[in-house]
Structure 1
Amino acid sequence: MATIQRVAELAGVSTATVSRALAGKSTVSAATRQRVEDAARQLGYVASATASSLASGRTRNVGMVMPFLGSWYYASVLKGAHRALADAGYDLTLYHLEDTTRHPRRRQRLFEEFLMRKRVDAFIAVSLELTAEELTRIHDLGKPMVGLGGPLEDVTTLSIDDRAVAELATSHLTSLGHRRIAYIGGSEGFDLDFHMPAHRRQGYEDALIAVGVTPDPAMRLAADFTIQGGHQATLQILGDPRLRPTAIFAASDEMAIGAVLAARSLGLRVPEDLSVVGIDGHELGAFFELTTVDQHPVEQGRLAALALLAELRQDTAAEGHANRALPYNLHVRKSTAVPPVRRRD
C-alpha cells in the first residue's frame, strides 16, 4: 500500500515536504513539487482529503457561483475553470443562482447558509454583481475570491470591455460600408449584473455615431441570448418593410446564428443580402461561417481559476486586488461583406 512515507523516500524529501507539495504550497520549489508528484504518481499515492483538510485547514475545494447553467458561454467558462482547478488538485462545487429575482430566498440562503458551511477554500463569482452585504459576508470568511465579469470591491476581478467589443463588431460592419445596421441585444431581464447588454448597446451606438449615423431605436430588438430568440427577433425586423437593414449585429453568437437561420428561411442570402456578426467565439460559429468577436470563454474560466490559485498560494498578496482586462479578437468569416447596394455600383 502506498503511503506518504514511501512517497517521501522515493522523492528524497521529508513527509512534511510531500504534504506541502501535494497541497500546492508556494513554499515548495517547482522542481521539488514535480519530483514529489512523480513519486506519488509512480506509487499510486493519493492524499486523504480528510487528513489533508484536518492538517492544513483546507478542503481542496473551490466554490463557483453562476447565474445560468444552460448557456454555452457559462458552460465554457465552467469547463476552463474546472480544467485548471483539476490540474492543481482541486475539486469544484457549483452554486446555481438562476431566477433569483422571482425566488430571492435562494440567493439569500446561498450567502447566509451554504457558503458559511466552509466546505470550500475559495470562490469564483461569474457575472454576479454582489451587494456590499454579500461581499462583507464572504470577506468575513477570510477566503479568497475572484470575480469574472465585472468589478467587485476588494476582489481580484477579470472582465471584458463589453462596450469596446460591441464597438469593434459594429465598426467591422461600418468599415464594409453598412449604415443600416440592426442590433439584437438582451432584454431587461439580462441587464441585472454589470449591465452587459447596456454596455454592448452603447458600443453599437458609438460605432454608428462615429460614421455619422444617428442610432434608430426601431433598429434595436431585444432577445434572450438564444438561437430561438435571435431567430424570432430577426424575423420581426426583416419582416418590417420600413426598416430593411443591410446588416445585423447580435450581442451573442447564438442570437447571430438565429439571425442567419431566419434570413435563410426568408430566402435571403448571407452575406450577399444580409451581413451578420456576433460576439462570443461559439463552437458552432465555424459551421455557420459566422464573423464574430471571440471572447474566449474557456480561457476566461482558466484565467479566473489561475488567479484564484495564485491567491490561495499567496503569490499575489503584494500586488493587491485589481480589475484585469480579458483578451478578445475579431474573427472574420463569410457571414459579412459589403452591402448589396455598393455591390451593384
Structure 2
Amino acid sequence: MTAPDRRRRMSTITDVAREAGVSVATVSRALRGLDRVSPRTRERVFKVATELDYVASPTATSLASGRTQVVGVVAPFLTRWFFATLVSSIEKTLRQHGHHVLLFDLEDDTYDQRLPLSQNMLWKRVDGVITLNLPLTVQELELVDRLGLPLVAIGTPVADRPNVRIDEDLAMRTATEHLVSLGHERIAYIGTVPSNAAHIQTPQARLDAFRDVMRAHGLQEHPDWILESDWTADSAASDTRTLLASADRPTALAAASDEMAMGAMAAARAEGLRVPEDLSVIGVDDHVLSNVLGLTTVRQDVAAQGREAAEILLRALGVDTPGGSTSAVVVPTELIVRASTAPPPPST
C-alpha cells in the first residue's frame, strides 16, 4: 500500500508498528515519551507516525497510562485580569509538553463566597491541580490527597504543597513607601474585604503592610480612609467617591490592586480632582492597561508565576522541564513610577 493510499483512511497504532517494524507496545511507549525505548527506535517511530499522519487517541492513551494529560486549574474568579493572565500562561506552558488545562471557576453569586471543589470535578479527569490564590478547606485538601493528585498553589499557600507567589508584604510596603518618600502624610487605602472572602489572605497581607509603613513613619491612620472594595474598577470608583468629595480628603491613595487604582482615578476625575496634582494614586500588579493610563504601580510578573507553577507540576508528573525547584518560588516585584504620583499640593 502506497503512502497516498494509506492516507485515504485514518492510520492506527497497528499501522505505525507494522511500518516501523516494532510492537504496538513499543509504539505506545515511544509516543508517550516513556523509558525502555532506544533513541534510534523512538526516532523511527516518530518518523513513521508523522508519515502516516497518526494521531493517538486521547481516550486510549488515558486508559493505557492512567493519565489524562490534563491539569485542573482552580480559580475563585475568572473575570479578573490577574486570573485570566495566570490561566493563559499555565495553558501555554502545559501545551508545550502535551498537557492541557481543565478550568474550574468557583465564583459564586456573591464576592465573599465560592463554590466547593468536588470529587466529580477531579476524579479521572485530571492528573494534577493548580490553585490560583485560593485557600482550600480541610475537606478539599483531603479530597485531593485521596485522589493522589499533586498540587501546586499560586499565591495563597496550601499546606505542605509547592507554592509560587510574590512577597505580598514587600509589594505593598514598596507602594506605600513610594508615597511617603514623595512627602505624603495623608494617605488613604482601598482594598479591604470581608473576613470570609474567597481570597482573604492577599488583601489582608497588603492591608497589614500598609499599616506597618504608616506606623513606622509615625503617620496617622484615618479609619474612614481605609476602604472596602470587591477589587474591581467599577466598585472602587463607587467606593472612593464619598471620600474624594469630602473637604477633608487625602493627598494620596494606595490601592491594593491596579484595577482599584484605576477606579479611584476615575472617581477623582469625576470629582474634578487632578491626578497627580490633587491626588496621587498607586496600585499593585502592573495591569495590562496600567502603562496606557500612566498608573504608578508595583509590578508583579503574573505570567512568570503561571509558568513556574506549571513547570513544577509537570515535574511532579514525571515530565522533564527546565528549572529545578519543586517546593517554593518567590517571584520578584518592582516599583514602576509613572504619571499618577507626585509630591502633595503645596497647600497641604
Q: Is TM (by shorter chain) over 0.5?
A: yes
Q: Secondary structure at the match of 1:277?
A: strand
Q: Secondary structure at the match of 1:155?
A: coil
Match of 2:193 in 1: 187
Deviation at 1:202, TM superposition (A): 0.8
Paired amino acid for 2:98:
G
Which aligned pairs between 1:109-188 and structure 2 lie closer than 5 A? 110-115=117-122, 117-188=123-194
Assess if the C-alpha contact under 8 Å between 1:25 and 1:313 holds in 2.
no
**1:98-149, CA deviations, whole angstroms, 9 ceiling, x for partnerless residues?**
1288998941xx324332x311111111122112232122112112111112
Q: Secondary structure at the match of 1:229?
A: helix
Partners of 2:177 and 2:43 in 1: how far apart?
A: 48
Paired amino acid for 1:268:
L
Q: Point out the more displaced range, 167-176 or 98-107.
A: 98-107
Which aligned pairs between 1:30-179 and structure 2 lie closer than 5 A? 44-99=53-108, 106-107=115-116, 110-115=117-122, 117-179=123-185
Q: Secondary structure at the match of 2:332?
A: coil
Deviation at 1:182, TM superposition (A): 0.8
Q: Secondary structure at the match of 2:290?
A: coil
Deviation at 1:154, TM superposition (A): 2.6
Match of 2:267 in 1: 262
Assess if the C-alpha contact under 8 Å between 2:192 and 2:226 holds in 1.
no
Assess if the C-alpha contact under 8 Å between 1:59 and 1:121 holds in 2.
yes
Paired amino acid for 1:156:
P
Q: 1:16 to 1:339 in 2, by over 3 A?
A: farther
Partners of 1:74 and 1:56 in 2: how far apart?
A: 31
Q: How many residues align?
A: 337
Match of 1:305 in 2: 310
Partners of 1:211 and 1:18 in 2: how far apart?
A: 68
Paired amino acid for 2:120:
E
Partners of 1:168 and 1:44 in 2: how far apart?
A: 55
Partners of 2:134 and 2:115 in 1: how far apart?
A: 14
Assess if the C-alpha contact under 8 Å between 1:62 and 1:122 holds in 2.
yes
Q: Point out the more displaced range, 206-215 or 117-126.
A: 206-215
Q: 1:55 to 1:191 in 2, by over 3 A?
A: same
Deviation at 1:81, TM superposition (A): 0.9
Paired amino acid for 1:276:
V
Partners of 1:166 and 1:327 in 2: how far apart?
A: 13
Assess if the C-alpha contact under 8 Å between 2:164 and 2:330 holds in 1.
yes
Q: Secondary structure at the match of 1:119?
A: coil
Paired amino acid for 1:54:
L
Paired amino acid for 2:106:
L
Paired amino acid for 1:119:
R
Partners of 1:24 and 1:194 in 2: how far apart?
A: 41
TM-score by length of 2: 0.84
Assess if the C-alpha contact under 8 Å between 1:154 and 1:321 holds in 2.
no
Structure 2: gaps spanning 5 or more residues: 1-6
Assess if the C-alpha contact under 8 Å between 2:113 and 2:198 holds in 1.
no
Q: 1:15 to 1:275 in 2, by over 3 A?
A: farther
Match of 1:218 in 2: 224
Partners of 1:335 and 1:222 in 2: how far apart?
A: 22
Percentage identity across paired residues of the two chains: 45
Deviation at 1:36, TM superposition (A): 7.3
Q: Secondary structure at the match of 1:70?
A: coil
Match of 2:344 in 1: 339
Assess if the C-alpha contact under 8 Å between 1:24 and 1:88 holds in 2.
no
Partners of 1:33 and 1:229 in 2: how far apart?
A: 57
Match of 2:240 in 1: 234
Match of 2:212 in 1: 206
Paired amino acid for 1:261:
A
Q: 1:33 to 1:66 in 2, by over 3 A?
A: farther
Q: Secondary structure at the match of 2:98?
A: coil
Assess if the C-alpha contact under 8 Å between 1:223 and 1:230 holds in 2.
yes
TM-score by length of 1: 0.85
Q: 1:34 to 1:333 in 2, by over 3 A?
A: farther
Larger radius of gyration: 2
Partners of 1:208 and 1:165 in 2: how far apart?
A: 15
Q: 1:26 to 1:335 in 2, by over 3 A?
A: farther
**1:2-39, CA deviations, whole angstroms, 9 ceiling, x for partnerless residues?**
55578789999987666445435588899998997787
Match of 2:287 in 1: 282
Assess if the C-alpha contact under 8 Å between 2:227 and 2:239 holds in 1.
yes
